[in-house]
Amino acid sequence: MRQFSLVVLMACGLGSGLAGCAPEPLTQADLAQMAHPSAQIRAQVEALMPAAMAELDPMEARILSEGRPLNAVETGYALKAGVHHPERVRVLAWQGRFPAPKNKALARVYKPANALAITFGYGIAARQEDPYLIAHELVHVAQYERLGGREAFTREYLTQELVLGGYATPLEREAFKRGHRIAPVPAGATRRWIESLD
Ligand SMILES: [Zn+2]
């Protein structure tokens, strides 16, 4: 049975919900539906986009204004993650849980309450600044760049979340696997989960 593994839209951190839940491999049908989403999925994504961007834009602006630049070690992580502009990245120490979006439809897809960090474009908000967590988020920054910016990333993220029902999406799988290679996750359930990803 598929489960919500972690929260996430603009990029979850290592949430608490994945411990003990072995990841299922993605099926050919899943991959085909993500590559060529149905008209219904496309319509759902477009309906969510304004609310998603209304969450992302002010968060990124705040993090870019109040956050700190990457240090030398983190800049190395960013380059390994494939980030083209590590100098643009900012990290903001976040106190408490991330708030649910005000938009109810978006709140059904994007559940950030248990996330330890979330990436909004070049802005990383992090409740903890563990190296493996920052490395994971930097993979998301690289994804934003690779996909062509915030709207393109958000559209892809929402599509994957809707097709897979919140289950570990390809964008998250990539962030877990690459992030773990850059700065290993400590031994435990989360690490075992990551190492069992296909
Ligand atoms: Zn993530």
32-67 residue pLDDT tens:
999 999 999 999 999 999 999 999 999 999 999 999
In-domain check, residue 7: no
Tell whether the model's pLDDT for residue 2 goes beyond 80: no
Ligand 1 centroid to Cα of residue 28, in Å, is 22
Q: Specify the number of domains making up the chain.
A: 1
> Where in the sequence is the domain holding 128, given as residue range(s)?
38-195
Q: In the sheet where 117-120 sits, what is the strand order?
A: 68-69, 90-93, 123-126, 117-120
At 166, the pLDDT band (50, 70, 90 cuts) reads confident
Ligand 1 centroid to Cα of residue 136, in Å, is 6
Q: What is the mean pLDDT of residues 115-130?
A: 96
In-domain check, residue 136: yes
Ligand 1 centroid to Cα of residue 47, in Å, is 23
Ligand 1 centroid to Cα of residue 125, in Å, is 12
**What percent of the chain lies above the pLDDT cut of 90?**
75
Ligand 1 centroid to Cα of residue 13, in Å, is 5
In-domain check, residue 29: no
Ligand 1 centroid to Cα of residue 12, in Å, is 4
In-domain check, residue 120: yes
Closest CA to 73 of 126, 134, 141, 123: 134
Global pTM reads 0.88
- β-pairing, 117-120 vs 123-126, is antiparallel
In-domain check, residue 24: no
Q: Is 25 exposed, middle or buried (0-12, 13-18, 19+ CB in 10 A)?
A: exposed
Ligand 1 centroid to Cα of residue 118, in Å, is 7
At 22, the pLDDT band (50, 70, 90 cuts) reads low
In-domain check, residue 2: no
Ligand 1 centroid to Cα of residue 168, in Å, is 9
Ligand 1 centroid to Cα of residue 106, in Å, is 17
Q: Which two structure tokens, joined as six digits, stand for 142? A: 């690289």
In-domain check, residue 22: no
In-domain check, residue 28: no
Ligand 1 centroid to Cα of residue 36, in Å, is 23
Ligand 1 centroid to Cα of residue 172, in Å, is 5
Under 8 Å between Cβ of 119 and 92 = no
